[in-house]
């Protein structure tokens, strides 16, 4: 029961503070929250958008949650997502694969690139004990500028009127959409992955060693579990999920590579994972909550022209409140 | 291609670009010396930049803007201090959330300020000295805050290494148990250092909008807060050494713009990566050469709990 109190109280407190901010710029917060709610839940398009935003958040939530189980903070999901999107786009645009092999190949390369990008901070952490929070974060900027460089330069499309975009992907490289909305196959892929990783985390030796290293590194040494291996594997898994999220975003939503394919999905993975306390099944629920915040954020933007950055405020407040709650409980 | 005029303007703008970095780096040095790791510089700087700009626009007084920018930075630092000193929470994550909070709030409140023209800090020529060719333009034709940053570095060096209070800060960061047993109030020292650090980082942000860029845009700190974290390590936690690092990175920033303007064939987007790659390399060097040898406070980032045995 007490496990529920901290997250619920954190959400409530954040709603109050964001409400005060909304009121400060002359918007009735209760009215705004009501509009957010009805627009997201009462139409086919609202619900579809909810799933569209939830999809990458499930994957970036897992990208943070799995390393977190081993006590590692993967702040780099954003960059890993960009690298996955970049790799998938290269395959989509230049590989000329037969259509049945296109999507699987994109998926695989995105996963590998996400992993490779996570491997850098993982190895630096395991070998040199370099703070993974800083290294993953700095690599985000490098990945984002890399994608910028590619779409402004080598990968810029021929039919884009000088916009920094690639050309549109061929049809075989796009995920099928349903119901005449943007709702796409990626949603189901994300859910299947979350269920599969839940099994791995709870039922396998690897999942066990993750937990031991996270809970008590010294005990891991006594139990003969290699901490270095666990550090590297958990980060690689995290990077893989974020890379997949990148592929799903370009192939399900953007249909091309361009700058700003992610509006902070990688960073949102942090509160998603924390709110779920690292449990892959709960990650789906908290991803849905943050998906709602994203949809709600854009509703506020179109209705009241409130900048979407209000979503960041909300995210950071929730994390701060959860941390405060955890610290207070530890002291009791 | 490189003539003296190009060089002079490059060096002069390197100092202007380096000054906000210098303020933030000095602030973080004081914070970290006391044992608190504040990763929130990026969020504190942007809050200082926005507050400074908004206050200058509203009051017509850029100096009041700088002051309020500093106070806003202090306020965010207070949040960090409360979480890391009083609640003894994970300092890295708290700091990171300050970044998100600062970027979010300023993006939210700042939307109506984009494109506005506020009142800015102007350069003050130092008589006679500013007439020296090259050096005059580079060193003696800056705004008062740029001069102040240099003086501040000297003052902080003096306080840290030549006064009793500096000794208490260093003791709180190196051996809090020993400091405590000598009658130093570790929590109080850490609170004051973190707040003072936030003040300087906020002023650095205000400098960015009121003296360097002379405008407000969303996310205008563009990663400078992260670079300052590396500069702290680069300087070995020594205020006097922060000067060189800050101007060097300032120069790197300016150079990427100038090269773009002169049409040298290096991609602007690739140049933007350089500070981050350099930062990672600096970090790597610092860990390979062992933290202690490199001068990191021994208790950096570790909450102090009275009577706990390590």
**Block residue for tokens 């002023």:** B203
Per-residue pLDDT tens listing for chain B (310 residues): 457 777 888 888 899 999 999 999 999 999 999 999 999 999 999 999 999 999 999 999 999 999 999 999 999 999 999 999 999 988 888 998 999 999 999 998 998 888 888 888 888 777 877 778 777 777 777 888 999 999 999 999 999 999 999 999 999 999 999 999 989 999 999 999 999 999 999 999 999 999 999 999 998 998 899 889 888 988 889 999 999 999 988 988 888 777 766 666 567 788 788 878 888 888 888 777 765 445 678 888 888 887 764 4
H or E, element range at B289: none
Q: What's the confidence (pLDDT) of residue B160?
A: 95
**In the predicted model, what is the mean pLDDT of chain A?**
91
Q: What's the confidence (pLDDT) of residue B310?
A: 44
User: Confidence band (pLDDT; 50, 70, 90) for A2?
Assistant: low
CB contact under 8 A, B269 and A327: no
pLDDT tens digits, A273-310: 988 888 999 999 999 999 998 998 888 888 888 888 88
Taking a C-beta distance cutoff of 8 angstroms, is the pair B72, B51 a contact?
A: yes
For domain A46-292, say whether CATH 2.40.128 is its number.
no
CA A103 and chain centroid, separation: 20
In chain A, the residue whose alpha carbon lies closest to the alpha carbon of B111 is: A307
Average pLDDT over residues A192-213: 91
Q: B4-294: what CATH class?
A: mainly alpha
Predicted TM-score of the model (pTM): 0.86
Taking a C-beta distance cutoff of 8 angstroms, is the pair A69, A210 a contact?
A: yes
CA count, 13 A, side-chain hemisphere, A255: 10
B302 interface with A at CB cutoff 8 Å: no
Check the CA dihedral A233-A264-B246-B106 and report its sign: negative
Residue of B104, B226, B270 with shortest CB distance to A316: B104
Name every chain B residue with its beta carbon within 8 A of the beta carbon of A149. Answer: 267, 269-270, 273
Name every chain B residue with its beta carbon within 8 A of the beta carbon of A129. Answer: 287
CB contact under 8 A, B229 and A323: no
Instruction: Give, as one character, the DSSP assignment of residue A167.
Output: P
H or E, element range at B31: helix B4-33
- Residue A54 predicted with pLDDT over 50: yes
pLDDT tens digits, A114-141: 999 999 999 999 988 888 888 998 999 9
Better pLDDT: A103 or A327: A103
B101 interface with A at CB cutoff 8 Å: yes
What phi and psi values does residue B124 have, to the nearest 5 degrees? -115, 115
Task: Give the number of beta-carbon pairs within 8 Å between A and B.
Answer: 125
In chain A, the residue whose alpha carbon lies closest to the alpha carbon of B279 is: A138
CB contact under 8 A, B89 and A267: no
Name every chain B residue with its beta carbon within 8 A of the beta carbon of A307. Answer: 107-108, 111, 218
SS3 B142: strand
Q: What's the confidence (pLDDT) of residue A287?
A: 96
SS3 A326: helix
Q: What's the confidence (pLDDT) of residue B309?
A: 47
Give dist(CA B144, CA B137) in Å, integer.
Answer: 14
Taking a C-beta distance cutoff of 8 angstroms, is the pair B56, B118 a contact?
A: yes
**Block residue for tokens 């003894």:** B88
User: Confidence band (pLDDT; 50, 70, 90) for A332?
Assistant: low
Which positions ≥6 away from B310 have C-beta within 8 Å? none
**B296: nearest Cα among B246, B234, B226:** B234
Name every chain B residue with its beta carbon within 8 A of the beta carbon of A137. Answer: 96, 226
Would you kindly state where each structural domain of chain B is located, as residue ranges? 4-294
- Residue A223 predicted with pLDDT over 50: yes
């Amino acid at each position: 029961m007490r496990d529920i109190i901290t997250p619920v109280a954190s959400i409530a407190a954040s709603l109050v503070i964001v409400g005060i901010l909304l009121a400060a710029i002359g918007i009735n917060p209760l009215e705004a929250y009501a509009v957010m709610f009805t627009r997201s839940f009462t139409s086919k398009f609202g619900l579809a958008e909810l799933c569209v935003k939830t999809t990458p958040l499930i994957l970036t939530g897992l990208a943070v949650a799995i390393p977190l189980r081993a006590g590692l903070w993967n702040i780099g999901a954003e960059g890993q997502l960009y690298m996955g999107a970049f790799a998938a786009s290269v395959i989509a645009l230049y590989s000329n694969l037969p259509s049945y092999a296109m999507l699987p190949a994109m998926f695989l390369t995105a996963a590998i690139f996400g992993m490779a990008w996570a491997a850098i901070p993982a190895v630096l952490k395991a070998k040199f004990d370099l703070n993974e929070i800083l290294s993953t974060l700095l690599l985000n900027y490098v990945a984002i500028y890399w994608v910028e460089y590619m779409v402004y330069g080598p990968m810029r499309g021929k039919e884009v009127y000088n916009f920094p975009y690639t050309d549109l992907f061929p049809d075989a490289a796009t995920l099928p959409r349903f119901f005449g909305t943007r709702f796409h196959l990626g949603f189901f892929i994300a859910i299947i992955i979350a269920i599969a990783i839940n099994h791995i985390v709870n039922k396998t030796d690897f999942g066990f060693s993750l937990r031991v290293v996270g809970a008590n590194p010294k005990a891991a040494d006594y139990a003969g579990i290699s901490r270095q291996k666990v550090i590297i594997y958990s980060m690689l898994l995290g990077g893989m999920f974020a890379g997949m999220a990148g592929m799903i975003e370009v192939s399900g939503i953007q249909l091309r590579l361009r700058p700003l394919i992610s509006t902070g999905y990688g960073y949102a993975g942090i509160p998603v994972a924390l709110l779920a306390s690292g449990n892959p099944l709960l990650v789906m629920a908290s991803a849905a909550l943050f998906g709602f915040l994203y949809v709600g954020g854009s509703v506020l933007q179109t209705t009241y022209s409130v900048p979407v950055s209000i979503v960041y405020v909300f995210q950071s407040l929730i994390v701060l409140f959860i941390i405060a709650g955890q610290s207070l409980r530890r002291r009791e | 291609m490189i003539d003296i005029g190009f060089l002079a303007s490059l060096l002069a703008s390197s100092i202007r670009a380096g000054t906000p970095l210098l303020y933030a780096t000095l602030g973080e040095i004081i914070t970290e010396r006391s044992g608190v790791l504040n990763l929130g510089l990026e969020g504190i700087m942007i809050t200082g930049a926005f507050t400074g700009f908004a206050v200058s626009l509203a009051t017509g007084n850029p100096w009041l803007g700088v002051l309020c920018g500093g106070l806003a930075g202090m306020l965010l630092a207070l949040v960090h201090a409360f979480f890391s000193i009083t609640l003894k929470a994970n300092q890295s994550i708290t700091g990171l959330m300050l970044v998100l909070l600062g970027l979010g709030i300023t993006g939210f409140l700042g939307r109506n300020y984009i494109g506005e023209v506020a009142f800015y800090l102007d350069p003050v020529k130092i008589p006679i000295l500013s007439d020296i060719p090259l050096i005059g333009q580079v060193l003696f034709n800056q705004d008062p805050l740029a001069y102040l940053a240099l003086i501040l570095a000297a003052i902080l060096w003096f306080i840290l290494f030549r006064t009793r209070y500096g000794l208490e800060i260093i003791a709180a960061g190196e051996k809090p148990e020993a400091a405590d047993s000598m009658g130093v109030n570790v929590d109080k020292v850490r609170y004051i250092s973190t707040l003072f650090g936030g003040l300087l980082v906020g002023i650095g942000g205000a400098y960015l909008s009121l003296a360097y860029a002379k405008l407000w845009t969303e996310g205008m700190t563009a990663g400078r807060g992260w670079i300052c974290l590396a500069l702290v390590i680069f300087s070995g936690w020594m205020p006097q050494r922060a000067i060189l690092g800050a101007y060097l990175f300032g120069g790197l920033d300016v150079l990427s713009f100038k090269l773009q303007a002169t049409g040298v064939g290096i991609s602007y987007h690739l140049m933007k990566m350089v500070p981050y790659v350099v930062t990672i390399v600096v970090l790597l060097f610092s860990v390979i050469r062992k933290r202690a040898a490199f001068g990191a406070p021994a208790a950096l980032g570790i909450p102090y709990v009275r009577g706990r045995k390590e």
